[in-house]
Amino acid sequence: MKYYIFALSFIAADQLSKFLVRTYLDVGESVSVLGDFFRLTHIQNRGAAFSMFSGQRLLLILVPVVMVIAALLVLSKMKHAHWSLYTAWTLILAGGLGNLIDRIVFGQVTDMLDFSIFPPVFNLADIGITVGCALAVIYILLGDRLKQHD
C-alpha cells in the first residue's frame, strides 16, 4: 500500500510542477535557478525522449498504457519481492502515468528541468522512469545478493 501512496505522491508532485511551469512561464521562456548550470525552461514535447516519434500521439499513448498495466500487474503479484524491485516498478508506474496524463489531456508533455551538462530538457516523470529503470537493472544484476541482505 505504501508504494501506491508513494506513486500517487510522485504523480501529484510531477503534475504540480508541470502546472506551475505552464502557469508562470511562456513556452520557450527560461528562468535561471543556479546560474547557467540549472534553469527552468518551459518546453512542450510532442514526442518521446529527445522528441522521438513526434506527432505519433496514438503510439505515445498506447505504449505507456501497456507499460502502466504491466507495472500494475507486476506490483500486484510481487508479494515478497525486494524493496528495490517494488521501488523500481513504482517509479516506472508513477513516471509513466505522469507523462501519460499530459499526453491525454494536452496532447504533449511539459518539460522544464534544464541542466547545462545534460542537453535534453526533462521533467519529474522522466526522472521517475529513468531511476526506476536503473533500479530494475541493479536488481537484475545484484538480485541474489540483495535478497541475502534483506
Using alpha carbons, select from 23, 26, 29, 24 the residue that is nearest to residue 41: 29
Looking only at the bridges linking them, the beta strands covering 118-122 and 38-45 are: unpaired
- Is 150 in the active site? no
Residue tagged active-site, from 14, 102, 111, 114: 111
Residue tagged active-site, from 14, 102, 114, 126: 126
Using alpha carbons, select from 81, 71, 79 the residue that is nearest to residue 10: 71
CA quadruple 69, 62, 90, 83: dihedral sign? positive
Residue numbers annotated as active site: 111, 126
